[in-house]
Amino acid sequence: MKYIKSQMQHLIKDNRDLQRRLKEIMKEHKLEKDFALKALYHSEVASGGKYQTAYQALDPDKK
């Protein structure tokens, strides 16, 4: 599975928990949004997190 910024943004747009988590990561680690998105991807999606299926469903190559 590959990180795609637009997919990650779409996933976050539809999920309040991920929006909150993104803001926490940005504040806690003093990261810009792009870097925080990648961190969120690795912690909540790529590692087999609960959002992995939802992220994969957004993949345009699978449609």
Q: Give the chain's domain count.
A: 1
Written as six digits, the tokens of 37 are 């998105």
Q: Does residue 40 sit within a domain?
A: yes
7-25: pLDDT as tens digits: 999 999 989 999 999 999 9
Tell me the average pLDDT of the chain: 92
- The separation between CA 2 and the C-alpha centre of its own chain, rounded to angstroms, equals 12
Are 44 and 18 in contact, with CB atoms under 8 Å apart?
Answer: yes
- In terms of phi and psi (left: phi > 0; alpha: psi -120 to 50; beta: otherwise), the region of 28 is alpha
pLDDT level of residue 62 (50, 70, 90 thresholds):
low
Mean pLDDT of 29-44: 96
- On whether the pTM is more than 0.85, the answer is yes
Q: Does residue 28 sit within a domain?
A: yes
C-alpha span between 14 and 16 (Å, rounded): 7
Task: Evaluate if residue 31 carries a pLDDT over 70.
Answer: yes
Q: Does residue 63 sit within a domain?
A: no
pLDDT > 90 fraction of the chain, expressed in percent and rounded:
79
Written as six digits, the tokens of 5 are 């910024």
User: Residue 14 is part of which domain span?
Assistant: 5-58
Which amino acid type is present at position 17?
D
